[in-house]
A and B are shown apart, each in its own frame.
Chain A
Amino acid sequence: MLRILVTDDSKLARKRIVQTIESFNISHEIIGQASDGEEALLLFNTLKPNLVITDIEMPKMNGVELTGKIREIEKDINIIVVSSIANAQIQQSLKADTSLFFIKKPISIKLLEMILLRVERELMDAT
């Protein structure tokens, strides 16, 4: 089962992500939501998700920094990064991370579903 942490400074965006995920036929639990990178890191340490969805542009700690911090704790956890800025440099810098997926906002429902299914499969294979 996917245990998902959703991070976005927009409450509306988090709500939409959660609603979209709930419409998928994928076993999951939204274990927490955070509105910035710092809060997300705290929740990550306490709730131990196996998938993090995070915006890039956030106050206090942006998504790139958050990703870096998470990787220090857990190397292989799957992270989906979403951004309203098509910044190729950021994408390029995150490209090397094979457990990281980049989605441009607004989020494509099909793409999100594909990624979630892939992550679910990986987790099942791992167990």
Chain B
Amino acid sequence: MRNKKFISISKKLIFALGFSAVVALFLSTIAIFIYTFNAEKENEIQSLSQITKIMGQNLIATIEFDDSENANNTLDNLKLDKTVEDAFIFKEDKSVFASYRYNDVSKKLALRMYKKNDIHKYSEYIDLKHIIISNPIVFGDRYIATLSIISSTNKIKKTITEQFFVLTMVFFISIIIVLILALKIQKIFTAPIFRMKDAMLNVSNNNYNVHINDTRNDEFSILFDGFNSMIDTIQERTAELKNEKANIEHILSNILLPVFITSIKKRTIVYSNKFAQKLYEKSESDILGSAIDDIYTLSNGPDDIIELINKHGKVFVYEDEIITNTGKKFTGLISVSPINYNNEDCYIGMSVDITKQKVLENEIREIHKHTRESIEYASLIQSALVPDNDDMRKYFKDQFVIWHPKDLVGGDIYLFEELRNNNECLLMVIDCTGHGVPGAFVTMLVKAIERQIVAKIKYSDEIVSPAKILSIFNSSMRHLLKQENKKSISNSGFDGQVVYYNKKDKILKCASARNEIFYYQDDELKTIKGDRHSVGYKDSDVNYQFTEHIIDVSKETTFYVSSDGYWDQNGGEKGLPYGKKRLKKMLAEIHKESMADQQEEFLYTFEAYKGNHIANDDVTVVGFKI
């Protein structure tokens, strides 16, 4: 709102130009007038001064001879100049020697002048009516008299008056011309301004379809270009905003969750979708314009969610109990994000009722807890199968064991049993079907069968045969798991190695299903390949005869009995299995170290190779030195 009266810039410009011209002309006129007056005055003084000098010269003889009559006659010649009113010749004592008209007033004027000035000197006196010139008459260097001529200023006045009329005429004519010119000139400047004004009025009335087309070559062209560019930008932005709004509307209409949009400034709801209306049991008209608190409250209060918004500018998945103003309660997940809606800064909030999911989640958590506890207990049970490594120390010079189930329980197990007379022992590394709980179940079965085998050996004189032991496992497992029938649903078994060692007789025998046995003797790596036949599966041949290997251990020998979990582990740059080649290379480097150091190297190398890959399988490695 403007309080001042609107005055067009055109009028202001005309006034400014006109006023400037008037002032300029007025000052010029005054200057000319003063100049003319001064010039005229000087002329008159010059003229009188000349007359006074010349006449004074002519009067020297007359005065010397004291001829006043002649002097009067000489002074009479002054009538030729109509402006001369009077003239006097004064003696030094200021007595009048001769005069022109002998007017008392004039005489007094002349004498008054001598009160201020020295009669012996040239002097001038000017006032509005008179000009008085006094010139001393000197004979040689002797003063003899002073001639004073009194002239009127009528001539000057007449000249000035004429000048004044002319100048006034010129002044007014000039004003008129200036005003006419001003009218023309102001258009040059105001026309583009009015064009700009009209364009801006259009813009203020939301009409953006306006451009100023002008081929000027001055600053206005820059202004017009800027305006046109601004209009183009506004049009583009308007189109963008329209699209944005359409997109937002489209998105909002397709969101299948309860949605509120709240104005940040007004703190009221400016949008709600039908899902929100349904959830909070309110109509759109009841919701719009309300505050959130009028629709629902949070059981933990608003402080936490407000703090999150203040800190992060948004809230992502905030869980709380929601209490609607209609009395409904449910567990909700709330997300809040900033959004521009209808050119207003708002927050868009979505909430979803997760009450059922929470119930399910708690149930799952309980089930998981029970399952976890069960598996942890199963792990305890499986750990009971793990032999006491101190027993192994009785038979082997040095040893290490790595037993790492992939999960809490696993399908790998290693078994060690002392047999007869503290001389014989049996070591098995068994890799049962799968890993985790199913694998662990099979290990229990393996242990049960192993107990039977060992019991039978202990109470007999039979020669222990690892190959036979594998055969017994083969038939027993197929039988116990009812896998003799090819239609059987289960199909479990194992791969693994059985090693028999008699420390007294220095006999070592072994047999293997699938997995190799590596050993170093005389600084040379040797490999016992496993039979290409697994143990206990439906497809396993119940009559299969495993190969038995006898190794001369009269010399120091270091054995490595491992499930395939170690060399099957993916890792490295390319994510490929570690492989037996790398394993053999590592063994070549470390086989002379202590078994404890070799174990450290096995573990460190495995972990380094695995990197961020997940463990593929259970890992069991038993190393022993005879």
Residue-wise interface mask of B (399-435) relative to A, using a CB-CB cutoff of 8 A (1 in contact, 0 not): 0111111001000000000000000000000000000
Give Cα distance in the complex from A87 to B389, angstroms. Answer: 12
Q: When the two chains form the complex, which single residue of A8, A92, A104 contacts B596, counting CB atoms closer than 8 Å? A: A8
- The yes or no answer to A89 lying at the interface (CB within 8 A) is yes
A9:B596 contact, CB within 8 angstroms: yes
Contacts of A104-120 to chain B: CB distance below 8 A: 104-106
Taking A104-B404, A105-B603 as contacts, is the C-beta distance between A89 and B383 under 8 angstroms?
yes
Q: When the two chains form the complex, which single residue of A10, A11, A13, A57 contacts B401, counting CB atoms closer than 8 Å? A: A57
- The yes or no answer to B243 lying at the interface (CB within 8 A) is no
A88:B408 contact, CB within 8 angstroms: yes
Collect the chain B residues with CB atoms within 8 Å of residue A90's CB: 383
Q: CB-nearest residue of chain B relative to A17?
A: B600
Collect the chain A residues with CB atoms within 8 Å of residue B607's CB: 106
Q: When the two chains form the complex, which single residue of B379, B393, B599, B606 contacts A88, counting CB atoms closer than 8 Å? A: B379
Contacts of A2-37 to chain B: CB distance below 8 A: 8-13, 16
Taking A11-B594, A59-B393, A106-B603 as contacts, is the C-beta distance between A85 and B386 under 8 angstroms?
yes
Q: CB-nearest residue of chain A relative to B602?
A: A84
Collect the chain B residues with CB atoms within 8 Å of residue A92's CB: 380
Collect the chain B residues with CB atoms within 8 Å of residue A8's CB: 596, 600
Q: CB-nearest residue of chain B relative to A62?
A: B390
Give Cα distance in the complex from A126 to B50, angstroms. Answer: 126
Which of B386, B600, B607 has the most chain A CB atoms closer than 10 A to its own CB? B600
B599:A16 contact, CB within 8 angstroms: no
Taking A13-B600, A88-B380, A88-B382 as contacts, is the C-beta distance between A57 and B389 under 8 angstroms?
yes
How many A residues face the partner with a CB closer than 8 A? 23
Q: When the two chains form the complex, which single residue of B402, B594, B604 contacts A9, counting CB atoms closer than 8 Å? A: B594
- The yes or no answer to A86 lying at the interface (CB within 8 A) is yes
Taking A9-B594, A89-B380 as contacts, is the C-beta distance between A84 and B599 under 8 angstroms?
yes
Collect the chain A residues with CB atoms within 8 Å of residue B383's CB: 86-90
Cβ of B545 to closest chain A Cβ, rounded Å = 34
Collect the chain A residues with CB atoms within 8 Å of residue B594's CB: 9-11
- The yes or no answer to B384 lying at the interface (CB within 8 A) is yes
Q: When the two chains form the complex, which single residue of A12, A84, A86 contacts B593, counting CB atoms closer than 8 Å? A: A12
- The yes or no answer to B376 lying at the interface (CB within 8 A) is yes
Collect the chain B residues with CB atoms within 8 Å of residue A106's CB: 603-604, 606-607
Give Cα distance in the complex from A10 to B597, angstroms. Answer: 5
Collect the chain A residues with CB atoms within 8 Å of residue B402's CB: 84-85, 105
B380:A86 contact, CB within 8 angstroms: no
A11:B382 contact, CB within 8 angstroms: no
Cβ of A64 to closest chain B Cβ, rounded Å = 11
Give Cα distance in the complex from A104 to B386, angstroms. Answer: 16
Q: CB-nearest residue of chain A relative to B402?
A: A84
5 nearest A-B residue pairs (beta carbon): A10-B596, A88-B379, A9-B596, A89-B383, A13-B600
Chain B residues engaging chain A, CB cutoff 8 angstroms:
376, 379-380, 382-384, 386, 389-390, 393, 400-405, 408, 593-594, 596-597, 599-601, 603-604, 606-607
